[in-house]
A and B are shown apart, each in its own frame.
Chain A
Amino acid sequence: MSHTDWLALVTTLELSAVTTLVLLLLGTPLAWWLARTSSRLAVAVEAVVALPLVLPPTVLGFYMLVALGPRGPIGGTLESLGLPHLAFTFTGLVIASTIYSLPFMVQPLKDAFAAVGARMTEVAATLRAGPWDRFFTVVVPLARRGFLTAITLTFAHTVGEFGVVLMVGGNIPGETRVLSIAIYDHAESMDYASAHLLSGGLLAASFLLLLTVYLVNRRYLLVHP
């Protein structure tokens, strides 16, 4: 494997890890709110969360490029504050990936929280457990299958990103050149040996990752029917 391909692998793993972490922090409270609220707004929020599932990545890629660049609302604001704009940066990719993978984090978590139900936390409350305590010692353990699924799918989906990265990334080694882009470039320039190596590796790794999740989830089901 060439040096730039290694760099692409590292960038991909970094992007996926950071995106998953950010989404875990943002997605957990959002999923919790969606699972519990009776607000009419929730339906609209849920629809917005699901949008990346149905929109072509080019829509997000286009809006991101325009918004994050120096003439866009986000990039322009940053520039006026003396900060660099975010088009063609790793941070820009994290923002785009966070939006792109949002449903993969929020939907499994929401389902898991809904399955836990209100009763358990109410019982814990009568035992004088505070809200944070109730969440971390009651809800999180009970929803751990949901967390596992959400984290894995978010990570894997970010690894599999292509269209958005192509549009806002700019193919910079070590910054925005991820594996899917590297594979594309190898295939376009007829370097099939490298394309096979990266594609085969990605295929095997993705399969193993999903296999592990489904194995763990099934074992958990058998142990806790």
Chain B
Amino acid sequence: MRLTLPRFALLIVPMLLLARPALAEDLTIAAAADLKFAMAEVVEAFRSANPEDRVQAIYGSSGKFFTQIVNGAPFDLYFSADIAYPRELEQKGLTHGETRPYALGRIVLWSLDPGLAEVPLTDLPGAPIRKLAIANPQHAPYGLRAQEALRHQGVWEAMQPKLVLGENIAHAAQFVGSGAADAGIVALALVLSPTMEGKGGWTLIPADWHQPLEQGYVILPRAGDKALAHRFADYLASEPARAVMRRYGFVLPGEEGR
């Protein structure tokens, strides 16, 4: 029998369909990269309380996820590091229900060399820092806030030639953690993670040097009638989940920061 194109399609299409995972109730979360460790712990805790539920989180820059969601990415929940992104989705009618704030993020100056981590931002241009890593301000909220803080201290222009841009905040942190960049402005939540804690030193950057890192999440339309999505959202407001977020340095809605 000759393998014509229709016969080939007849053969291949069912195989492709079979290769898709079964559609049990599972949850896919698109989360900002600063949540890499905190959300992983929350998800882990949720899983151990609900072992039959399948929840997975993917991490990346909030701007990237925004673009992907607008273009039909199959996510159920979207946790953005900048509440403006989910709000814009909401305005476009691309969400189920309204945007809810879940945390305020903070940025720190982090370096494997504890001495460098204590340099005031105004002295950065003269410090022995050849490369300073930040996230890409074009689409990563933490990058934008780092840019604002450097501007606020009047050193943005002077630091231009020394900046290296990570694709998201975890990528920028990896530049610092690998020692390739001498220092970086990264998320507090990342330097407080078990993998990075104790490596070098970090200094908190005052919150009033930049726009607040108000983080928000939404339930996306495809999860509108998924009970699991709503249960996970409820879990996030529960004390165990809040305790995890607090431990990662997030300021929670209705609470005072450090």
On A, residues with C-beta under 8 Å from B are 65-66, 68-72, 75, 84-85, 87-88, 166, 168, 170-172, 184-185, 187-190
Contact = CB atoms under 8 A, between A and B. Distances in A.
23 contacts: A65-B175, A65-B178, A65-B180, A68-B180, A71-B179, A72-B179, A72-B180, A87-B180, A168-B180, A171-B167, A184-B167, A185-B139, A187-B67, A188-B61, A188-B63, A188-B67, A188-B136, A188-B138, A188-B139, A189-B63, A189-B67, A190-B66, A190-B70
B54 interface: no
Nearest to B137: A189
Given A188-B61, A189-B138, A171 B165 contact: yes
B130 A185 contact: no
B101 to A, nearest CB: 23
Interface residues of B, number: 24
B165 A84 contact: no
Given A70-B182, A170-B181, A188 B165 contact: no
Given A69-B178, A70-B180, A190-B67, A84 B131 contact: no
A184 B182 CA distance: 26
The DSSP consensus for interface residues of chain A is loop
A38 to B, nearest CB: 42
Contacts of B63: 188-190
A171 B130 CA distance: 15
Given A87-B131, A187-B67, A188-B61, A170 B178 contact: no
Interface in B132-171: 133, 136, 138-139, 163-167
Given A69-B178, A185-B139, A189-B138, A170 B67 contact: no
B64 A188 contact: yes
